[in-house]
Amino acid sequence: MDHCKTPWSAFSASIFLNIAGILARSVDRNSYAVKVVVWMLASEDESSNKISCVKRGVRSYGRHSQLEGTARSVSVHKNIYNKATTAGTRRRPVVSITDKRVQTVRDILYGPPSAAAESRTTSVPAPLTATAATLSQQELMERMWALERMREKKATEERLALKYARLRAAMEDLEANHKHLFEGTNAKEKSAVDTGAVFPRRLRVPTETPPSNGWDYTKP
């Protein structure tokens, strides 16, 4: 016979759940407060059946609380995941151009607009006005740049002329003292066709692999 199904057991379980329910939310089911409740319920009768019923109630309530805690933690993790996934799809906040902070940063970076710029209706800057001073300065800079280019060109021509003169003197000395070296230096390399290293294409037999000894055209 299961003594936990008796009226005393039902009454004991209801009292235990009402009293220990509040304590078990903030303390562990094996803590001192829960043990005191178990001792109070079992103090009327020291029979093992009542104590076993109370302990079974403690275990069942502990499992129920553990399941509730697991479900609560799963829901919290789901909310965190949903927030993390939807955070990347949010649009950037639109900053109003009339915001004073934006205007302050713009003035710091680019400076306040001038009176002429405010009165102008277009965003294209006004052309520079040419004066006599600016024209004379521009002409002076152009003439100085042309003079510098002319000096560079003259120095290059003088350097090349000196190099050619020195090379010409060396070749004349080589021709006068070492004739064979002069001829070998000025000798032109013959092409492969002139030396016979390459078979003339117009005399080649139209075959994939012509013979190495040529083509005897006298034979039928």
pLDDT tens by residue, 1-33? 444 544 444 455 555 555 555 555 544 544 545
Q: What is the pLDDT of residue 183?
A: 85
Angle (CA) 160 162 167, round 5°: 95
Q: What is the pLDDT of residue 7?
A: 46
User: Could you tell me if 24 and 65 are in contact, meaning their C-beta atoms sit under 8 angstroms apart?
Assistant: yes
Please say whether the dihedral angle defined by the alpha carbons of residues 118, 124, 130 and 134, taken in this order, is positive or negative. Answer: positive
- Write down the pLDDT at residue 60: 56
Question: Model confidence at 95, in pLDDT bands (50, 70, 90)?
Answer: low
- Band the pLDDT of 120: cuts 50, 70, 90: low
What is residue 3's predicted lDDT score, i.e. its pLDDT? 47
**pLDDT of res. 47:** 47
CB 54 within 8 A of CB 18: no
pLDDT on residue 111: 72
pLDDT at residue number 115: 63
Higher pLDDT, 69 or 217: 217
Neighbours of 106 (CB within 10 A): 13
Q: Which two tokens stand for residue 116?
A: 């002429």
The pLDDT of residue 151 is: 97
Helix axes 32-41 and 48-87, enclosed angle (nearest 10):
150
To the nearest whole number, what is the mean pLDDT of the chain?
68
CA 194 to CA 196: how far, in whole Å? 6
pLDDT given at position 161: 94
Q: Are 193 and 200 in contact (CB under 8 A)?
A: yes
Q: Are 210 and 204 in contact (CB under 8 A)?
A: yes
In order, the DSSP letters of 68-103 are HHHHHHHHHHHHHHHHHHHHTTSPPPPPPTT-HHHH
Q: State the pLDDT confidence band at 188, using cuts at 50, 70 and 90.
A: confident
Label residue 141 by pLDDT band (50, 70, 90): very high
Q: What is the pLDDT of residue 97?
A: 63
Query: What average pLDDT does the segment 73-86 reach?
Result: 63
- Which pLDDT tens digit goes with each residue over 166-176? 989 988 998 89
Q: How are the residues of the chain apportioned to helix, strand and coil, as percentages rounded to the nearest 5?
A: 70, 0, 30
* pLDDT value at residue 187: 77
Output the pLDDT for position 2.
Answer: 47
**Residue 177 identity (one-letter amino acid):** N
